[in-house]
Structure 1
Amino acid sequence: MKLDILYIFPFDFYGYRTVHNSFLTIFNRISNYIHSKEVPPGCKIQEEYVDLRYEDLPAYTPENIDVYRQKLEKILLHIYSGFPFDMVSISCYSSFHYLNTVEVAAMIRSKINPECIIVVGGPHATIRPMDFNLNHLPRYITRHYELQSTPFTYLIKEEGEIPFYKLIRRYFRNGSPQKVHHKKHAKCKILAPELVEDLNSLPPLDVELFRRYEEVLNRNLFNLNIEFSRGCPFQCKYCPNSAHYINCYKKVRVKSVDNCMRELHHLSETDWLKIKHLFINDMIFMPKRSKKREFFEEILRSQRERGQFPFRIEVEERVDLCSKEDLEKYAQSQIIPQFGLETASKTLLARIGKILGVEQSTIRRGAEMYLRKAEELIIHANKLELPVSFFYVIGLPGTDRHTINESKEFFLEKRFTNTSLIESYNVNLRFALYHAYFGTYFYDNAEQVYGTKMLCEQWWRKFSGDQIYYSQLVHPSDKISLPEVIESYNLFLKQVFNSQNKLKNSFYSVYKYTYFKEWMDKVLALYEVIS
Structure 2
Amino acid sequence: MKVLITAIDSKFIHSNLAVRYLKSFTRDMDYESKIKEFTINDREGRILEEIIKEKPDIVAFSTYIWNVELISRVANLIKRVDSNIEILYGGPEVSFDSRSFLKNNVGEYVIEGEGEKTYRDFILYKLGKIKLEDVRGLHYKVNDIVYSNEKRPLMSMDEIFFPYEENEDLTNKIVYYEASRGCPFNCKYCLSSTSHGVRFLDIDRVLKDLMYFINKEVRLVKFVDRTFNCNSKFAMAIWDFLINQDTNTQFHFEISADILKPQEIELLSKAPKGRFRFEVGVQTTNDEVLRNINRFVNFSDIKEKVLEIEALRNIDQHLDLIAGLPGEDYESFKKSFNDMYEIKPEEIQLGFLKLLKGSSMREDADKYGMEYSPYPPYEILKTDKISYEELLKLKKVEEMVDKYYNSQKFNHIIRYFERKFELPFDFYYSLGMFFEDKGYFSKNIGNAEYYKVFLDYSESVLQESNKYLKEIIRFNYLIFNKKRGLPEFLRSDMEKEEEKSIKEKLKEQYSFKEYHLEKFKINIEKYIETGEILEEDTYYLFNDRAEYIRCM
Q: Same fold (TM over 0.5)?
A: yes
User: Which of the residues 192, 204, 207 maps onto 1:261?
Assistant: 207
Distance 1:505 1:208, change over 3 A: farther
Q: CA deviation at 1:253?
A: 0.2
Given that residues 346 and 406 in structure 1 are in contact (C-alpha distance below 8 angstroms), is that contact kept between their aligned partners in structure 2?
A: no
Q: CA deviation at 1:158?
A: 0.6
User: Partner letter of residue 231 of structure 1?
Assistant: G
Given that residues 204 and 259 in structure 1 are in contact (C-alpha distance below 8 angstroms), is that contact kept between their aligned partners in structure 2?
A: no
Match of 1:8 in 2: 6
Question: Identity of aligned pairs, percent?
Answer: 16
User: Which of the residues 202, 205, 208 maps onto 2:163?
Assistant: 205
Q: CA deviation at 1:196?
A: 4.8
Match of 1:48 in 2: 34
Given that residues 352 and 398 in structure 1 are in contact (C-alpha distance below 8 angstroms), is that contact kept between their aligned partners in structure 2?
A: no
Q: CA deviation at 1:123?
A: 0.8
User: Partner letter of residue 379 of structure 2?
Assistant: Q
User: Which of the residues 471, 479, 484 maps onto 2:385?
Assistant: 479
TM-superposition CA deviations, 1:2-29 (whole Å, max 9, x none): x32210113x6xx3xxx58421211211
Tell me whether 1:353 sits opposite 2:294 in the alignment: yes
Match of 2:50 in 1: 75
Given that residues 370 and 380 in structure 2 are in contact (C-alpha distance below 8 angstroms), is that contact kept between their aligned partners in structure 1?
A: no
Distance 1:54 1:479, change over 3 A: closer
Match of 2:60 in 1: 89
**SS of alignment partner, residue 35 of structure 1:** coil
TM-superposition CA deviations, 1:445-477 (whole Å, max 9, x none): 1322x22222x3x113xxxxxxx6xx43521x3
Match of 1:459 in 2: 375
Structure with greater helix share of residues: 1
Match of 1:30 in 2: 22
Pairs aligned (count): 418
Match of 2:197 in 1: 251
Given that residues 324 and 380 in structure 1 are in contact (C-alpha distance below 8 angstroms), is that contact kept between their aligned partners in structure 2?
A: no
**SS of alignment partner, residue 447 of structure 1:** coil
User: Partner letter of residue 37 of structure 2?
Assistant: D
Distance 1:505 1:207, change over 3 A: farther
Q: CA deviation at 1:393?
A: 1.5
TM-superposition CA deviations, 1:250-278 (whole Å, max 9, x none): 231011211111111123334xxx53111
**SS of alignment partner, residue 410 of structure 1:** helix
Given that residues 381 and 388 in structure 1 are in contact (C-alpha distance below 8 angstroms), is that contact kept between their aligned partners in structure 2?
A: yes
TM-superposition CA deviations, 1:338-359 (whole Å, max 9, x none): 111111112211222111xxxx
Distance 1:296 1:351, change over 3 A: same
Structure with greater strand share of residues: 2
Q: CA deviation at 1:174?
A: 5.4
Q: CA deviation at 1:204?
A: 2.6
Q: CA deviation at 1:224?
A: 1.1
Distance 1:347 1:493, change over 3 A: farther
User: Partner letter of residue 51 of structure 2?
Assistant: L
Given that residues 9 and 91 in structure 1 are in contact (C-alpha distance below 8 angstroms), is that contact kept between their aligned partners in structure 2?
A: yes
Given that residues 8 and 50 in structure 1 are in contact (C-alpha distance below 8 angstroms), is that contact kept between their aligned partners in structure 2?
A: yes
TM-superposition CA deviations, 1:253-310 (whole Å, max 9, x none): 011211111111123334xxx5311101111114211212222333345x1xxx22x4
User: Partner letter of residue 311 of structure 1?
Assistant: T
Match of 2:300 in 1: 371
Q: CA deviation at 1:105?
A: 2.4
User: Which of the residues 112, 120, 124 maps onto 1:165?
Assistant: 120
Match of 1:293 in 2: 236
> Partners in 1 of 2:223 and 2:253 — Cα distance?
5
User: Partner letter of residue 68 of structure 2?
Assistant: Y
Distance 1:324 1:240, change over 3 A: same
Q: CA deviation at 1:491?
A: 7.7
**SS of alignment partner, residue 70 of structure 2:** helix
Given that residues 204 and 262 in structure 1 are in contact (C-alpha distance below 8 angstroms), is that contact kept between their aligned partners in structure 2?
A: no
Match of 1:115 in 2: 84
Match of 1:133 in 2: 102
> Partners in 2 of 1:48 and 1:325 — Cα distance?
45
Given that residues 438 and 444 in structure 1 are in contact (C-alpha distance below 8 angstroms), is that contact kept between their aligned partners in structure 2?
A: no
> Partners in 2 of 1:131 and 1:506 — Cα distance?
49
User: Which of the residues 173, 177, 183 maps onto 1:226?
Assistant: 177
Distance 1:251 1:375, change over 3 A: closer
**SS of alignment partner, residue 145 of structure 2:** coil
Match of 2:76 in 1: 106
> Partners in 2 of 1:344 and 1:479 — Cα distance?
16
Given that residues 40 and 70 in structure 2 are in contact (C-alpha distance below 8 angstroms), is that contact kept between their aligned partners in structure 1?
A: no
User: Partner letter of residue 107 of structure 1?
Assistant: L
Within-5 A mapping of 1:320-339: 320-333=258-271, 334-339=275-280
TM-superposition CA deviations, 1:190-242 (whole Å, max 9, x none): 45443453212222332469x5xx4xx523xx411111100011111111244
Distance 1:237 1:277, change over 3 A: same
User: Partner letter of residue 26 of structure 2?
Assistant: I
Given that residues 48 and 77 in structure 2 are in contact (C-alpha distance below 8 angstroms), is that contact kept between their aligned partners in structure 1?
A: yes
Please list every run of 5 or more consecutive structure 1 residues that lacks an aligned counterpart in the other structure.
Answer: 59-67, 138-150, 356-365, 413-420, 461-467, 527-531
TM-superposition CA deviations, 1:485-530 (whole Å, max 9, x none): 45479789989978999975999x99xx79x959x969xx99xxxx
> Partners in 1 of 2:286 and 2:320 — Cα distance?
14
Return the index of the structure with the highest Cα Rg.
2
> Partners in 2 of 1:123 and 1:279 — Cα distance?
19
Given that residues 229 and 282 in structure 1 are in contact (C-alpha distance below 8 angstroms), is that contact kept between their aligned partners in structure 2?
A: yes
Please list every run of 5 or more consecutive structure 2 residues that lacks an aligned counterpart in the other structure.
Answer: 134-139, 419-427, 443-552
Q: CA deviation at 1:407?
A: 2.2
Given that residues 89 and 111 in structure 2 are in contact (C-alpha distance below 8 angstroms), is that contact kept between their aligned partners in structure 1?
A: yes
TM-superposition CA deviations, 1:295-335 (whole Å, max 9, x none): 2333345x1xxx22x42110110122223543443453422
Q: Which has the higher contact order (CA 8 A, sep 6+)?
A: 1
What is the TM-score with the length of structure 1 in the denominator? 0.68
User: Partner letter of residue 209 of structure 2?
Assistant: E
Given that residues 330 and 390 in structure 2 are in contact (C-alpha distance below 8 angstroms), is that contact kept between their aligned partners in structure 1?
A: no
Given that residues 205 and 263 in structure 1 are in contact (C-alpha distance below 8 angstroms), is that contact kept between their aligned partners in structure 2?
A: no
> Partners in 2 of 1:517 and 1:47 — Cα distance?
48
